[in-house]
Amino acid sequence: MRNILLLLFLYILNTIAYRPVILLHGILTGSESMELIKNCIEEKHPGTIVYNIDKFGGWSSLDNMWYQVKQVSQIITNITTNHSEGVNFLGYSQGALLGRTILQANPNHTIHRYISLSGPQGGQYGTQFLHLYFPGLALETAFELFYSRVGQHTSVGNYWNDPYHQKLFYDYSQYLPYVNNEIRSNRSDEFKAALLKLDKLVLIGGPQDNVITPWQSSQFGYYNENGTVVKFEDTVTYKLDTIGLKTLYQKKKLILVTVPGVDHFMWHTNVTICDNYILPYLD
């Protein structure tokens, strides 16, 4: 009888509905790319409400990041207004950075947990996937495009972080240095406080990603001026606790999940990834 009751308890625990979940797609795709994760959540935990945001699909995902933040923030606010218990939020690739910024830009948010699935949180310095959209773009000279008025109208330009041209990065980038509080603004305190409200900040990435460069950017690690990767705990962002990463980590609210052998375009299309590395953080 005891074994039967235990099995019944585990079954109920495994099938109980989660808090509502918001999904946000990556660059040059749309909500259809997140359907596997949506279906995975709904199948494994029936009754869970999943909002799969379709805003800024396709080429419109290249729009300026601040513009996207403003537009998608309204959608998130409309969703969370209907769920006083709070919601969980998962963003993939560029959507992971966009989603994180949406939280920071809305310090009164009611997001319970935020999952960043292979997002360029520390920036991007790799052109492999960009050749489809910026033909002829060379890694060494990409800063000439992205650190310009035209380049800052593009989402990629907003988080392009060239380790060999840091002065230009801080002089021209209108987005990433501010959301990471590397440059102080009148919103810096709000940006930090908003992340500290989270019950969990989960950062998922892996060494075989092949798109997010360096892959450690998915966990706030990045290159130094010599091109050597600095782990997140050795970055200025962490050491100075500019956006609350150190505080979250010390409170065991910052979770780093490193999964080897996963290509960038498999994170959101692999049931095993969903089962093992996403579902456990949606309770």
Distance CA 220, CA 280 (A): 22
Query: Is 209 a known active-site residue?
Result: yes
Confidence of residue 136 (pLDDT cuts 50, 70, 90): confident
**Which ranges of 161-239 does DSSP label H, i.e. alpha helix?**
166-172, 176-179, 188-196, 236-239
Identify the H or E element spanning 8: helix 2-15
155 near 59, Cβ under 8 Å? no
Mean pLDDT of 144-173: 97
Q: Where does 18-281 sit in CATH, by number?
A: 3.40.50.1820
**227: its two tokens:** 């091109």
**94: its two tokens:** 């560029």
**270: its two tokens:** 């692999």
Query: Is 84 a known active-site residue?
Result: no
**Which ranges of 31-119 does DSSP label H, i.e. alpha helix?**
35-44, 65-80, 94-105
43-92 residue pLDDT tens? 999 999 999 999 999 999 999 999 999 999 999 999 999 999 999 999 99
Residue of 165, 209, 217, 268 marked active site: 209
- The ranges assigned to domains in the chain are 18-281
Contacts of 41 (CB under 8 A, 6+ apart): 18, 21, 48, 50, 274, 278, 279, 282
Residue of 33, 93, 173, 188 marked active site: 93
pLDDT higher than threshold 80 for residue 121 = yes
pLDDT higher than threshold 50 for residue 7 = no
Query: Is 189 a known active-site residue?
Result: no
**Which ranges of 83-207 does DSSP label H, i.e. alpha helix?**
94-105, 142-146, 155-159, 166-172, 176-179, 188-196
Residue of 112, 165, 264, 268 marked active site: 264
Distance CA 11, CA 194 (A): 35
Model pTM? 0.93
Distance CA 126, CA 263 (A): 15
